[in-house]
Structure 1
């Protein structure tokens, strides 16, 4: 096993690593090894430059961040409200639900939900949305992903 070193990273770098995780079991070290192509079989070329290493030849879609939760681009979202299931996905840093863009779970919930009488309502989206991360088959209630604080 390779010797482990501790490095300091800023919060933005930490967020990028978290957004690149393919599942809850993937460690930050594993994410970096994958992004840097360290374990690629048959690698005979010198290490790529910084932008190549992270696959940034063009801008990658952004994850969504809020209240200690990072949802990668492509995360599926769904909400059951008043007998109707609303669905969408995280799209380049925003919530794309039923063709409308929102900045937050509460904005998305309030923007699409209607009461039994058909009136608009304001909702705390953290109480209603469930998410399914890319490369996962499991839905999680979004509130369970928030950091205790």
Structure 2
């Protein structure tokens, strides 16, 4: 077992660590090791897109290419995913739409699933993009 030390951090730093967690099972120490690129850091499981398939996802006039990175924040937690072969893959689960993905992974403060309008919450970074863009803006 590693030699652990206690450190004091302010609430803003704590919030950032929580937002960077890739899952509820990832500890704050694992988050910091990953972000700081400390040797032996565990990497969060990331779904690798199937490069043989490559179908984009399309809905409501928006097309997101295969390999598009996805992220949303809800209730103090960041969720990440990718477009893989025409589907939203978030937290290891596959969804057909942004709302299904948002409602499928986001939890209320009571730990319950909720219905969310994913068009409000999700941001995308398409292959070749340098910035994140709200998918709601892409509908305009």
Report the TM-score when normalising by structure 2. Answer: 0.62
Q: Map residues 55-66 of structure 1 onto 2, 5 A cutoff.
A: 60-66=53-59
What residue in structure 1 maps to residue 39 of structure 2? none
What SS does structure 2 have at the residue aligned with 1:111? Answer: helix
Deviation at 1:59, TM superposition (A): 5.8
Rounded Cα–Cα distance in structure 1 between residues aligned with 2:122 and 2:139: 13
Report the TM-score when normalising by structure 1. Answer: 0.58
Q: Unpaired runs of 5+ in structure 1?
A: 1-57
Rounded Cα–Cα distance in structure 2 between residues aligned with 1:59 and 1:102: 20
Query: Number of residues paired by the alignment?
Result: 90
- The reply on whether 1:104 has 2:97 as its aligned counterpart is yes
Would you identify which runs of 4 or more consecutive aligned residues in structure 1 move more than 4 Å? Answer: none
Deviation at 1:61, TM superposition (A): 1.4
What residue in structure 2 maps to residue 136 of structure 1? 129
CA-based RMSD: 1.4
Deviation at 1:60, TM superposition (A): 3.8
Deviation at 1:104, TM superposition (A): 0.2
Which residue, 106, 114, 135 being the options, matches 1:113?
106
What residue in structure 2 maps to residue 93 of structure 1? 86
Q: Report Cα offsets for 1:10-65 as digits up to 9, x if no partner.
A: xxxxxxxxxxxxxxxxxxxxxxxxxxxxxxxxxxxxxxxxxxxxxxxx96410000
What residue in structure 2 maps to residue 26 of structure 1? none
Rounded Cα–Cα distance in structure 1 between residues aligned with 2:68 and 2:76: 23
